[in-house]
Structure 1
Amino acid sequence: MALLGNKFNDRHLSLGLHEQIYIDKPAIQEIKDEIIRRNNSIVNQLCLNVMENSVHRIEMELSEEEKNEAKLHFFQQAGIPGIIGVVDGTHIKILAPKKADQHMYYNRKGYFSLNVMLVCDYRMRIRYADARHAGASHDSLVWNSSELRGTLQRKYDGGERSTWLLGDAGYPLEPFLITPFRSPEVSSRQSLFNTKHSKTRNIIERSIGVLKNRFRCLLAARQLHYSPQKATQIQIGAS
């Protein structure tokens, strides 16, 4: 350790156990601080190494029992059958990236961000997270390029016809993704469906709120003081 080398010469480092050495209190505290700093650095690096290649997380492989439990819960909420989860996007504020990339990260709300797509289940657990996209990306682009969509498409092509996610109007209507009607007439059947859809879907907004309050660095008032790449890893780690 460099610090020990600064405090003692080579002879001191080779002393046997039968010899005594005296270290003053400031030196002891400095040694303790150095040990703590190095240990924290190692732990932080290990965490970052785990997340280094993680730009999305998917845990949507549900058993039939889990699917049935989810479908029952969501049906009891507002009467929409076959729902196993809810998808939505949220913006994670970051520092301004390098100038050449700023146009990609400047979102419609007026700040630099990542557009993160999340899916939660009926227990408010995050089952999928995709944090690869810059803040200027539309929700539909994030969805269309996600591994989740590919997974659901393969399941649909394989014969799964009674399982859906719910998403807001920012997402495309798909055989496995139900979105609300656009501009329905008041008191129409479509308007009633939209009310039920919104009541069922609000669980994702609550889940995002819980996530950001647990990891407060994700709040817009705080923002992540890192590069977009590192901010992506932090978001996935939090999810």
Structure 2
Amino acid sequence: MVRTSRRRLLITSLEKSIKDDLTLMALNYLFGGDENDTSGSDMDTDYEDDKWEDEEMIYTDLECKARALLKIQGDRYLAPRGRIEKAPEMHQFILHRMQEIFHNNSNHPQRPVIEQMMVALNRLGCFGNGVAVGMIATCYRIGHGTVEVYTNRCIMAILSLKTTLLEWPTAAARQETKAHYGEVGFKGCVGLIDGSLVVLSTCPEKDGQDYYSRKGFYCIATLLVCDQHKNITYVFTGWPGCSHDMRLMTNCALSKSPNQYFSDGEYLLADSAFVPTLTTVPAYKRKRNKQLTDEQTDFNRHLSGVRVAIENCIGLLKN
């Protein structure tokens, strides 16, 4: 349901009030002249004074409303917005964690970590000609091979942080997650799962056609699990972009070794692309030539409201 903001309601109210005042002034101007002509020189002075005061009040009120309308239209919010501390940039966080990894004991020390990461991020964040090694080497005045070295070194350093930054929640942490989702009707839920596509700038040389997705670009299929705080707790990636989410689910450790990840009664919430199992509770999928029942529709609507956290998590990851 569309919800109208207080700002829009106030603007609409002021516009209507100004329109009514202008209409009233126009009517007074059109029909007020007859009384002036009939009264002649015997017109009551008090009546003239009262009439002038009324008109002056209308003009003043109209001016105040117009100023208020312009003020509100010029401001995005009605009330002043509080200052929100900006979270540290992700590259600063990674830079701090990688300081210990970039270490060279030779007589020729490496360039500063921030310079190497700048080259790597520039290359990883570009498409088309912008990703060319020669163009990046010319931009930073380094050798072509140095671009490759910096990129590979940063990637390996980031991957080495996987075991410390990405881990499956412990039994105690899962209890906290289950308590959270139990309050919204999903007792035993320990996370949310969904698939996503990681875009590739170019077509892979080997089996490139397999990486072409249904969305019209080359990519890598990825499976992610997050908790109620949008913290990623599991990642399974590397499959071609044409792979279905359920295909990844079947081949990942969550399905092959569920006892290492789940206790009795624990499961993940998923969308209708997944098949229901002991550890996966998906949304109902409409069968061909059949409609969902009212109960199934209500369940899917409630499930989607809870699962929005994994959608937000993936959005934060990609942005």
Q: What TM-score range do you get, normalising by the shorter chain?
A: 0.5 to 0.7
Q: Tell me what 1:74 maps to.
A: 181
Aligned-pair CA distance for 1:167: 1.0
Task: Judging by fraction of residues, say which structure has more helix.
Answer: 2
Q: Is 1:150 matched up with 2:234? A: no
Aligned-pair CA distance for 1:108: 0.5
Structure 1 residues 167 and 54: alpha-carbon distance in aligned structure 2, compared to 1, 3 A threshold? farther
Count of matched residue positions in the alignment of Structure 1 and Structure 2? 175
Q: Tell me what 2:125 maps to.
A: none
In structure 2, distance between residues paired with 1:61 and 1:174:
20
Q: Is 1:167 matched up with 2:270? A: yes
Q: Tell me what 2:316 maps to.
A: 210
Structure 1 residues 111 and 186: alpha-carbon distance in aligned structure 2, compared to 1, 3 A threshold? same
Aligned-pair CA distance for 1:92: 1.2
In structure 2, distance between residues paired with 1:209 and 1:143:
21
Aligned counterpart for 2:306 among listed residues 200, 210, 233: 200
Q: Which amino acid aligns with 2:300?
A: N
**SS in structure 1 at match of 2:242:** coil
Aligned counterpart for 1:132 among listed residues 238, 248, 255: 238
Aligned-pair CA distance for 1:151: 3.2
Q: TM-score, normalised by structure 1?
A: 0.62
Q: Tell me what 1:63 maps to.
A: 171
In structure 2, distance between residues paired with 1:61 and 1:74:
15
Which structure is higher in RCO with an 8 Å CA cutoff and minimum separation 6? 1
Q: Which amino acid aligns with 1:47?
A: C
Q: Which amino acid aligns with 1:116?
A: T
Give the conservation status (yes or no) of the 8 Å contact 1:58–1:127: yes
Structure 1 residues 211 and 155: alpha-carbon distance in aligned structure 2, compared to 1, 3 A threshold? closer
For structure 1, the residue ranges without an aligned partner over 5 or more in a row are: 2-32, 214-239
Aligned-pair CA distance for 1:149: 2.2
For structure 2, the residue ranges without an aligned partner over 5 or more in a row are: 1-107, 109-139
Task: Judging by fraction of residues, say which structure has more strand.
Answer: 1
In structure 2, distance between residues paired with 1:186 and 1:176:
24
Aligned-pair CA distance for 1:168: 1.0
In structure 1, distance between residues paired with 2:162 and 2:236:
6
Aligned-pair CA distance for 1:97: 2.2
Q: Tell me what 1:180 maps to.
A: 283
Deviations 1:54-75 (A, max 9, x none): 99996224223x1121012122
Query: Which structure is larger by alpha-carbon Rg, 1 or 2?
Result: 2
RMSD: 3.3
**SS in structure 2 at match of 1:119:** strand
Q: Tell me what 2:220 maps to.
A: 114
Give the conservation status (yes or no) of the 8 Å contact 1:114–1:134: yes
Aligned counterpart for 1:48 among listed residues 141, 155, 177: 155
In structure 2, distance between residues paired with 1:71 and 1:45:
40
In structure 1, distance between residues paired with 2:236 and 2:261:
20
Q: TM-score, normalised by structure 2?
A: 0.48
